[in-house]
Structure 1
Amino acid sequence: MEFSVFDGINSSIPFKGGRKYATVQIPYNSTNKITGAGAIISLHNPQNLSGHQFSAGRIKVQNGIESIQVGWIVNPHVYGDTHTRLYIYLKTEKLACFNTRCPGFIHINTAIPLDGDLPASTYGGPIYDVPMYIARDMSNGNWWFKFGTNYTSVGFWPSKIFTKLNEFATSVEYGGIVYSPPGVPEPSMGGGYFPVGDLNKDGYCKNSTYLTDKNETKSLDDIEVKLYANSPNLYRVADFPNSGVESGNLVLYGGPGEHMYKKHRDI
């Protein structure tokens, strides 16, 4: 199947740490009225993480500086281990935190624990994935986190905590993010390799969709998207429009990070 990929290479890019992304985006537009986003997200356990590093696969809705994220993450600093865990992240004009570490998210279904361990895929299989969705309640503006094949409601972010997302999202992202402090080699992302178009190997967001202000579910095929990778030596992203009935729009992402990049570069 045909796809587009962001893989521009510049070997002179220094490894300075910070946040690195490999995402497909519905770009910011002030006229966008997005009320949700979702996908079936593959689960992974990237290697070579320690200290304040993290590596995650996520969906993010945003308006201005305010955003909501849902996905999986490996974050030794927050959790004290390198397990793959379910996470949410909130940023408002006044708050920024994982899960319920600051006021905001109302967790109504504790049978689905935030911070809970998730099974991790193995490169080449077996593969584990799970549907995750963010959806705005059109009656009151609350943003809900829905998880699993039955769209189980985990909890919600009240509209009243936002000044921008109390209305609509104006941009969305699907894919991977890593963080490493300056001077610390960047960890791997997703399945740990560049995407090759194989769901047994790549990190993915399958059936990637968004919600309109009329509460209609739309595929990413129905809107112009942008591929973004700010460190393509280490991480890349690809988009498969119209990939098939089962997969819908397919976002693939991942990369080896600095450890493996240096190893391959020195061969």
Structure 2
Amino acid sequence: MISIISTIIDGRAQARILASNKVTGFDKPKGAVKTIESYETGEVIDCVDIFKQPAFDHPLLKNHTMQMKPSSNRKANGAGYVEGAFSQAWWKYGECPEGTIPIKRPQNHTNHHVTPMIPHVKRLNLSGNDFSAPYRHEYAVAFMQGGNLMGGHARFSVWNPTVMDSEISFSQIWLGSGPDENVNTVEAGWMVNRKRRSDSTEAEIFIYWTSDGYKKTGCYNLECDGFVQTNKKIALGGLIRPVSTYGGQPYDLTIDITKNDFTGWWWLRILDIEVGYWPREIFTYLKGPADRVIWGGEIASNKPGGSHTATQMGSGHFPYEGFGKASYFRNLKVVDDRFIERDPENLGKGVTRPECYDLLHNADSPDFGVNFYYGGPGFSTQCANW
């Protein structure tokens, strides 16, 4: 079971940062026509000419014709639902004009220094016993493997878990295809990433992709050429407001990644907003369908052997605590090779160390569909050592 998902879960390649994408006091990125600064969070958002975004620096996209919305008539079979309250902190300070997209500058929002180049993260052994690697990964995920999959969907709760210095806590959906050494993925979710910004304590939206097993291709958000953004509302990397609180109101995020049945591009939808797409040209195996969809949480830790990291996954509480306390994924869907959305079948479970982070499948329900709770606190009396 572990080998099925090792390619995607274990070992995330970290993105390079564009030389032109600098913080306050430095040059604006190419094509910027307006700058918005969130005084509440220190985020700096540049509104960039949609035709001058980083994607079009990719050599395979030089003559690319942008599509503003999916040209598909595919209809989902899933039941409708009401979205929770969702916003990004920078929205209250302005909006990007038509014909532009928002790009968040990488920065430390307390002292506005340029974020250092982020190193490649070595692929680790899923047993969690590879002490020679700079990062070790632990996870609690559900997955569907096999077949020709054209998309995946989930609605999942958003939290601000505690994350130790230079570590990362992810909650996301992955779609992948290809052999381990050259896997292609498209990924989206939320994370608290103290590797990128040491003072980061809040969840932010992110995307990621690779076309060669996390070796040389791919990046977070728009930090390299590849993903084509078409929407002026969502800033990838932007902080999410509000988030769930323990015993309080839960807030969640809905993400769809679906292959367009005409162009073959992988479209990203956040809530009801078509954010943009990964063109098929940048991939090898994902030129065609995916062969796996994965949902759940991941921890990337650089803590040496000895005491286990106290970085939390999800809400930082175990699944058995249930609704309002544990983090959840609900209404899981896949899109089959007829482009029909349906419930996933034969859902697998992958957990590296259940005493640290676990996952609990729940019975299907009219409101929650296929769903599970996941997460945990990391270091505790039962999770004391690596």
Q: In structure 2, which of residues 362, 368, 375 is the aligned counterpart of residue 240 of structure 1?
A: 362
* Correspondence for 1:9: none
Is residue 95–residue 102 contact of structure 1 (8 Å, CA) maintained in 2? no
* Correspondence for 2:100: none
Give the distance between the partners of 1:76 and 1:69, measured in 2 at CA.
19
With CA pairs under 8 Å and 6+ residues apart, which has the higher RCO, 1 or 2?
Answer: 1
| TM-score between both structures, scaled by the size of structure 1 | 0.85
Is residue 23–residue 237 contact of structure 1 (8 Å, CA) maintained in 2? yes
Q: Deviations over 1:132-169 (max 9, x none)?
A: 11011011110011011xx2100100000000011000
Q: Does the residue aligned with 1:165 lie in a helix, a strand or coil?
A: helix
Is residue 173–residue 296 contact of structure 2 (8 Å, CA) maintained in 1? yes
Q: In structure 2, which of residues 296, 315, 325 is the aligned counterpart of residue 201 of structure 1?
A: 325
Q: Does the residue aligned with 2:372 lie in a helix, a strand or coil?
A: strand
* Correspondence for 2:203: 84
Give the distance between the partners of 2:300 and 2:310, measured in 1 at CA.
7
Give how far 1:228 is off. 0.6
* Correspondence for 1:41: 156
**Structure 2 unaligned spans of 5+:** 1-127
Give how far 1:204 is off. 1.0
Q: Indicate yes or no: 2:188 matched with 1:70.
A: yes
Give the distance between the partners of 2:139 and 2:284, measured in 1 at CA.
26
Of Structure 1 and Structure 2, which has the larger fraction of its residues in strand?
1
Q: In structure 2, which of residues 257, 263, 266 is the aligned counterpart of residue 134 of structure 1?
A: 257
Give the distance between the partners of 1:43 and 1:262, measured in 2 at CA.
26
Give how far 1:218 is off. 0.7
Q: Indicate yes or no: 2:340 matched with 1:216.
A: yes
* Correspondence for 1:176: 297
Give the distance between the partners of 1:74 and 1:144, measured in 2 at CA.
24
Distance 1:87 1:264, change over 3 A: closer
Give the distance between the partners of 1:197 and 1:191, measured in 2 at CA.
11
**Runs of 4+ residues over 6 Å off in structure 1:** 263-266
Q: Deviations over 1:65-91 (max 9, x none)?
A: 111111110002224422210011111
* Correspondence for 1:19: 137
Amino acid of the residue matched to residue 166 of structure 1? K
Superposed CA RMSD in Å reads 2.1
* Correspondence for 1:5: none
Distance 1:18 1:138, change over 3 A: same
Give how far 1:120 is off. 2.0
**Structure 1 unaligned spans of 5+:** 1-12
* Correspondence for 1:189: 313
Q: Deviations over 1:73-121 (max 9, x none)?
A: 0002224422210011111124131111121101111311101111221
Give the distance between the partners of 1:102 and 1:206, measured in 2 at CA.
31
Is residue 241–residue 250 contact of structure 1 (8 Å, CA) maintained in 2? yes
Map 1:87-166 to 2 at 5 A. 87-93=206-212, 94-118=216-240, 119-148=242-271, 151-166=272-287
Q: Indicate yes or no: 2:362 matched with 1:252.
A: no
Is residue 332–residue 369 contact of structure 2 (8 Å, CA) maintained in 1? yes
Give how far 1:18 is off. 0.6
Is residue 362–residue 370 contact of structure 2 (8 Å, CA) maintained in 1? yes
Distance 1:264 1:161, change over 3 A: closer
Is residue 15–residue 185 contact of structure 1 (8 Å, CA) maintained in 2? no
Give the distance between the partners of 1:227 and 1:44, measured in 2 at CA.
22
Distance 1:98 1:156, change over 3 A: same
Q: Does the residue aligned with 2:148 lie in a helix, a strand or coil?
A: coil
Give the distance between the partners of 1:216 and 1:122, measured in 2 at CA.
35
Distance 1:197 1:134, change over 3 A: farther
Give the distance between the partners of 1:263 and 1:21, measured in 2 at CA.
17
Distance 1:197 1:133, change over 3 A: farther
Give the distance between the partners of 2:280 and 2:170, measured in 1 at CA.
26
Q: Taking every aligned residue pair, what percent have the same amino acid on both sides? A: 28
Give how far 1:128 is off. 0.8
Give the distance between the partners of 2:382 and 2:346, measured in 1 at CA.
37
Amino acid of the residue matched to residue 350 of structure 2? Y
Distance 1:55 1:265, change over 3 A: closer
Q: Does the residue aligned with 1:41 lie in a helix, a strand or coil?
A: strand
Matched length: 244
Distance 1:262 1:210, change over 3 A: same
Amino acid of the residue matched to residue 44 of structure 1? W
Q: Does the residue aligned with 1:190 lie in a helix, a strand or coil?
A: coil
